[in-house]
Structure 1
Amino acid sequence: MNILTSLNTLLQGIPAGSRATLDAIFESIRAIFGGDRDTRKRVAFGVAVIALSAKMAKADGIVSPREVTAFQEILEIPPEELRNVFRLYDIAKQDIAGFDTYAMRLKGLCREEGETCELLTDVLDGLFHIAKADGLVHERELEFLAEVARIFGLSETEFTDVKNRHILGPSNPYAVLGLDPDAAPSETRARYLTLVRENHPDRLAARGVPDEFMFIATERMKAINNAYSQIAGKTAA
């Protein structure tokens, strides 16, 4: 089932104008998609990206046009589905529950599935893409992202790897690959191949990332490939 169709099904159960809450949304996911584990996981992922994006915008206090564009890049939204997606976005902004509640609920769903849930890193990746869209990850946004990572149970190293890929980017290819600047070419090559294997879009699809969110995987691979190309080019020179 297409995730946007699934979101439409989910929102149909919430009367227009009602003050829907986080608990109501996640209970609806459980009730509607309880017999379909794969769809349940994909819808939970989609809701998390949309809702946490809304909470991050509220925490920062400013939603720039570039951030809205970045949000729409992550989730390729057909015109007929815009209303549903932004309705969910507004529900999350208005919900009195804090972003930590959203993050903990998503982590709880992963635990119920008996998984380590690498999807949580993918959610964080998507949030970083939105945060940096205006050219700078602001202090409040970085604090928000660090706390989300902590709630998700990511290590400081895992958080730093995601942060470096988005913030340092072309300026520090070694940091993007998680390497010391004096790493040997053989170590660099081995690290690169490991990251390619771990972050290939097919692997993300296998762990439940919806097709509509494959932009995350594509951008991640671009950063990894660009970093390796820079290092290999310096070595060859």
Structure 2
Amino acid sequence: MGWMGKLVGGTIGFALGGPLGAIFGAAFGHAFDSGTELELSREGQRLSRVEQNQLTFFVAAFSMLAKLARADGRVTPEEIDSIEDFMEKDLRLNTDSRHAAVNIFRTALNAPGTFDDFARQFYEEFHGQPQMIEVMIEVLLRVAVSDGRLSAEEEELIMVAVNTFHFSSVRYSQLKSKYVKTADKAYAVLGCSPDADNDQVKRCYRQRVQEYHPDKIAAKGLPDEFTRFAQDKFREIQEAWEEVKAERGIK
């Protein structure tokens, strides 16, 4: 990840604008200027567009997860364990990336910026990239239910993201059903109803495959760790399709 190498090497001399920039600056000791989007690095070079996307996604994800963890008023050891488990098992963060994520998470926990602030800035950056938006919604859901339940406070915040991102309420319900119940999970993964006919199911499967093909996701500029998360999603789509095919006798 280009920006991570520059961060570890101490050569980043820029700040993101907005509330995410405040988190980044506080977490890593870089100057923050709310009026700037990106400042020049000390080497006189700007981040590439891909690196900017990666940095924004990474900071937004762990800032929003911090506010999600505080949704019920306190952060429990179980919630911290779930975040660390997500870093290790789902994202498979390396040591440097994990330290960066922990810094962002801890900084955002008590920062004045709100979940709404972070969600709005994320949407400004990625409003034209629906896969990035869906990955973020699914990240929030997966971590929220990692303790075995989705609390009303947690879902209220996730719905803030859904509304801010102009994300389909139907698609949100499908994603939610992957985590809060087991019935019809395969159909939720494919993004269709169990009542759909075979042709509709096939169309949904083909659309999901096209959206989450690893080559297409790689071109979106996701951080490497989140790209692996999306690749797991692609495998999940394939497995769901095989399950539905077997259930319906589709050849």
TM-score (norm 2): 0.76
* Pick aligned residue for 2:203 from 190, 200, 204: 190
**177-186 or 125-134: bigger deviation:** 177-186
**How far did 1:141 drift?**
1.5
Deviations 1:186-207 (A, max 9, x none): 3322221221111122221111
Q: Look up the match of 2:163.
A: 150
Q: Look up the match of 1:5.
A: 5
- Equivalents in 1 of 2:238, 2:181: separation in Å? 14
2:104 is aligned with 1:91: no
Q: Look up the match of 1:58.
A: 70
Q: Secondary structure of 2:217's match?
A: helix
Q: Look up the match of 2:217.
A: 204
Whose helix proportion is higher, 1 or 2? Answer: 1
**2-11 or 47-56: bigger deviation:** 2-11
- Equivalents in 2 of 1:122, 1:6: separation in Å? 25
> In the alignment, is the contact (CA less than 8 A) between 2:20 and 2:60 conserved in 1?
no
**How far did 1:41 drift?**
1.0
- Equivalents in 2 of 1:59, 1:159: separation in Å? 19
- Equivalents in 2 of 1:104, 1:79: separation in Å? 29
**206-215 or 39-48: bigger deviation:** 206-215
Give percent identity, aligned residues only: 23
> In the alignment, is the contact (CA less than 8 A) between 1:74 and 1:216 conserved in 2?
yes
Higher relative contact order (CA 8 A, sep 6+): 1
Q: Look up the match of 2:144.
A: 131
Q: Give matches, 1:7-156, under 5 Å.
A: 7-8=7-8, 22-24=20-22, 25=24, 30-31=38-39, 32=41, 34-60=46-72, 61=74, 62=76, 63-110=79-126, 115-116=128-129, 118-156=131-169
Number of positions where the alignment pairs a residue of Structure 1 with one of Structure 2: 228
TM-score (norm 1): 0.80
Q: Which runs of 5+ in 1 are unaligned?
A: 15-20
> In the alignment, is the contact (CA less than 8 A) between 2:212 and 2:231 conserved in 1?
no
**How far did 1:51 drift?**
1.0
Q: Which runs of 5+ in 2 are unaligned?
A: 26-31
* Two-structure CA RMSD over aligned residues (Å): 3.0
> In the alignment, is the contact (CA less than 8 A) between 1:64 and 1:134 conserved in 2?
no
